[in-house]
Amino acid sequence: NKAGLKLIKKFEGFRSRFYVDKGIITIGYGHACHVYDCSKIHPPISRAKGEALLKKDLVVFEKCVDSLTQIKLNSNQFSALVSFTYNLCCEAYRRSTLRRKLNAG
């Protein structure tokens, strides 16, 4: 939802040029070049381009949360879990105590 997108953008921050985050080349709102081909990205990018990259990236994490979460979530809960998963990766969410406790009720 819009609040979740705003939350992720706030936590990630925006960079119009490539930067290194924990050894990973990144641009925009955390668009990781080791996962996605960044060869066609020509900095500086606009905030709108950064948001478009983020929205495209989030589709994978939304599917991950949806497939691994067995309880019904409201929109804000879902967005918070997508934010968590975007930051850590799908495999980390799959192995997390958070996911196990949620699914256990």
Angle at 15 between CA 77 and CA 6, to 5 degrees: 25
Could you tell me whether strands 24-28 and 31-32 are parallel, antiparallel, or unpaired per DSSP bridges?
antiparallel
- Give, as one character, the DSSP assignment of residue 2: H
Give the length of the chain.
105
Q: Is 91 a catalytic residue?
A: no
CA-wise closest residue to 101 among 75, 79, 81, 82: 81
Note whether 4 and 80 are within 8 A (CB). yes
Active-site option among 12, 51, 62, 91 = 12
Q: Which residues are catalytic?
A: 12
